[in-house]
Copies of this chain bind each other. A is one copy, B any other.
Amino acid sequence: MTYCVAIKLNSGLVFASDSRTNAGMDQVSSYSKMNAFASGEDRAFVLLCSGNLATTQGVINHIRLALYDEDDKNSFKNFKHLFDVAEYIGLLSRSVQGRDRGGPQQETVNLDASFILGGQIGNEEPEIYLIYPEGNYISVSPNKPYLQIGEIKYGKPILDRIIEPDTSLEDAARCAIVSLDSTMHSNLSVGPPIELLLYGKDHFKIDRYIKLDIESPFYQSVTQGWGKNLQKAFTRLPRFDWEY
């Protein structure tokens, strides 16, 4: 499993992902699920991946090939809108899945993959898209300005309570860490290190990228601080009438 989240704010975009990959309980590994393609003065792209690792790696490889080939109409240099990129990745994902289907394992292996694409092209607003295994995609809702893929439920309540369009990039990044931390506590298939990326609107470059291992002092201070603050918050809840 996987857990990735992308948040769209007035001031830019925040991306976070875990790194655990597993095929069964005894084949557990660590792979980055975050890919940044900052490919020009007027454009920047980040892609988060979830699902079958061979499918997502296949898609990333095709994107990289097209990136370096300026004549390729699918080079990210040549797209006019971010949703064009979402559409291209959706088609790529279907084509990679289609190539691998029909083998002898077809009934037992799930080749599905989901992606979150975020970024900005030219004068367009920064945007995030969730690309489904079917290749179709959605943009984010203005009321709940975040998208998730993978094991999404455990980490959702904290996003719902904290994230607003005017939340700062840093606060959203802290919220993403807490959301990932809660998920890792509850589901073994989501694991460290956590990758975190902040993109400031109109910057057309990655502003901040950090990779947090579970032993890193910052990660420790956030998760322990959160545990303590939460318990304090809890003790301040109102009493039942029979407790007075």
Contacts and interface: CB of A to CB of B under 8 A. Distances in A.
Contacts of A185: 157, 160
Given A153-B153, A170-B243, A186-B156, A161 B218 contact: no
Interface in A225-244: 225-227, 229-234, 236-243
**Which size class do A's interface residues fall under?**
35 or more
A189 to B, nearest CB: 13
Contacts of A232: 229, 233
Contact of A161 (B162, B174, B227): B227
Copies of this protein chain in the complex: 2
B225 A229 contact: no
Interface in A143-160: 153-158, 160
A227 B173 CA distance: 19
Contact of A175 (B153, B175, B227, B234): B234
A240 to B, nearest CB: 6
A225 to B, nearest CB: 5
Contacts of A210: 240
A53 interface: no
A226 B233 contact: yes
22 contacts: A153-B153, A154-B154, A154-B156, A154-B157, A155-B157, A157-B185, A157-B186, A158-B230, A161-B230, A161-B231, A162-B230, A170-B240, A171-B234, A178-B234, A210-B240, A225-B236, A225-B238, A226-B237, A229-B232, A229-B233, A229-B237, A230-B233
